[in-house]
A and B are shown apart, each in its own frame.
Chain A
């Protein structure tokens, strides 16, 4: 019995001696199938010059299923988009509801729930600039394509939200702004 005690204690000792700080990950054992050999979205990559796996599409190519947005981020581009673009979806109740959800997620912080430009970031004093109102006369008169353009390419201080929101969702938000937010205030 005694001759087992010391090795047993040593084994236990080896296991317990891992008090770790929050910066330490801890130990692995036989991680043969734990780490992917194939590259994953966020793994470092020695093949590409910039060292990352998540590459942009090759210059001059268009990924399948994506129609590039062709209007430049200028006031003229915005007006042109307003003239040309037609909304591909209908303002059904379900679409407006989804639009509201997306508006709340992506726009509320700056433009406020009522679209007046008094969002939480502005009223709490973190933003020195008052975001634009979406329910003033100018915006009410602007065609839906302009709303879509501003979401996609940004305007003035507002950054482009195209990379963040999928095209269909951008249209839903535009629909919500035009058909519910602006109607609500003009009643």
Chain B
């Protein structure tokens, strides 16, 4: 008895830790397996995805499907770390690959540790295209939600109902729900709703379970939603895409000043004529005259602003920032507005032009992938981007960029302000007739050896004899009515 027991005991003693170790190590193994895969994916997405696909298709570099079978692992690690050194030192395979790919050098990746390289290669070897998630609700439904679903979606979006899988997150704290004047590079609800509604737009079920960019990973902080919650959310999006977004009301400061002064003036007038409570008449006079002064000034200011759009700076369909492009990245204005020097219009670039750079730059520091994705969608669907026009002269005025940019050598900034410091383009000048004419009075044209102005005999004589130092636009007819109005 005792013996048996002891044997049993021994077996148990042995087996339990063994089993536990086995189980633990099993769990552990698969956990590290997953973790390695995810680490590899991160490294790949960050460093390699701009040039390589894990398929047979070529991007900049060759497709990497089965590359771990084609080549030796040690060779691969060396090649990824410093391929050009291998090519130069005469490694035969490296040279072949280099020649076969149009002699484009692959950049060095010496900053990747041996562990990183293992992870990347492991990822490439075991790469699984992300399986479409199995979803229990109708994911293609874009319309016809019930009121209850919409309401629930809205509450979820505002973080009023906790999510089933823990965590509460007030989506509205980042994704603006009212249109305001402040700058916000996160997509607004309307943005999200429209991207979701488009044919090849956001797949909510995919995007909300595995974030598509670093920015989104950081912002969404492991957000997990149940399918039916996403369904409700999409009900809300459907509603938003129909009703649009509320606009923040501006604070009517000038109106308040106007009314307050009006009230004071009325009081003063009443007191002056009927009540006579205040002894000193000059107080009434001051209030009334001062008030009238302010009233007339306000009225004049508003009057001259009629039909003009100075300071207009509307939100654009893509949060395109001149500060990022013309400022930080030093792109010349005419790289994008390339017809300004040769035509009447300065031209707004087409999405194809954006692709010159955004083929490579797939995410922005502030907006993540969302805004740049809009360019890709525009290209795919062939729709043009409906930019909102800002500067617009009335039809009875003729204005040509060519005359000013090429002939007059006027800088863009003189008329448009410091556009390279603007995140949102704002109309800096009032584009009034006085503004055009004043500049024509002040600015000299290039007169001396300009064939275009040969016929101005009298001016040429005066210019040669030194009687006049410069010839302004005015003197060559730049303020004749018919130059601008015809």
User: Considering the complex, which residues of chain B in the window 338-385 have a beta carbon less than 8 Å from any beta carbon of chain A?
Assistant: 338, 342, 345, 348, 350, 352-353, 355-357, 359-361, 382-384
If A13-B258, A19-B250 touch, does A34 touch B352 (CB 8 Å cutoff)? no
B60 in contact with A42 (CB, 8 Å): no
Residues of A within 8 A of B302 (CB): 15-16, 18
If A16-B254, A129-B50, A159-B359 touch, does A22 touch B329 (CB 8 Å cutoff)? no
B329 in contact with A121 (CB, 8 Å): yes
Interface status of B277 (Cβ within 8 A of chain A)? no
- B10 to chain A minimum Cβ distance, whole angstroms, is 61
Residues of B within 8 A of A34 (CB): 307, 394-396
Interface status of A52 (Cβ within 8 A of chain B)? yes
B253 in contact with A19 (CB, 8 Å): yes
Residues of B within 8 A of A19 (CB): 250-255
Residues of A within 8 A of B335 (CB): 105-106, 109, 164
- A28 to chain B minimum Cβ distance, whole angstroms, is 5
Contacting residue for B298 out of A12, A25, A127, CB 8 A: A12
B338 in contact with A164 (CB, 8 Å): yes
> Which 5 A/B pairs are nearest by Cβ-Cβ distance?
A34-B394, A159-B356, A36-B395, A22-B313, A105-B332
Residues of A within 8 A of B384 (CB): 50, 52
A/B interface sample: 9 pairs, CB < 8 A: A15-B303, A16-B302, A23-B247, A25-B314, A27-B306, A42-B348, A109-B331, A138-B103, A158-B356
Interface status of B424 (Cβ within 8 A of chain A)? yes
Residues of B within 8 A of A41 (CB): 345
If A22-B426, A128-B360 touch, does A15 touch B394 (CB 8 Å cutoff)? no
Q: Give the CA-CA distance A104 to B332 in the complex, in Å.
A: 9
Q: Give the CA-CA distance A106 to B341 in the complex, in Å.
A: 14
B352 in contact with A165 (CB, 8 Å): no
Interface status of A57 (Cβ within 8 A of chain B)? no
Interface status of B445 (Cβ within 8 A of chain A)? no
Q: Give the CA-CA distance A165 to B334 in the complex, in Å.
A: 10
Residues of B within 8 A of A62 (CB): none
Contact with B along A21-45 (1 / 0, CB 8 A): 1111111110101111100011000
A109 in contact with B311 (CB, 8 Å): no
Max chain A Cβ within 10 angstroms of own Cβ: one of B50, B357, B383: B357
Q: Give the CA-CA distance A153 to B311 in the complex, in Å.
A: 40
Residues of A within 8 A of B342 (CB): 166
Residues of B within 8 A of A130 (CB): 105, 107
Interface status of B312 (Cβ within 8 A of chain A)? yes
Residues of A within 8 A of B312 (CB): 22, 24-26
A109 in contact with B330 (CB, 8 Å): yes
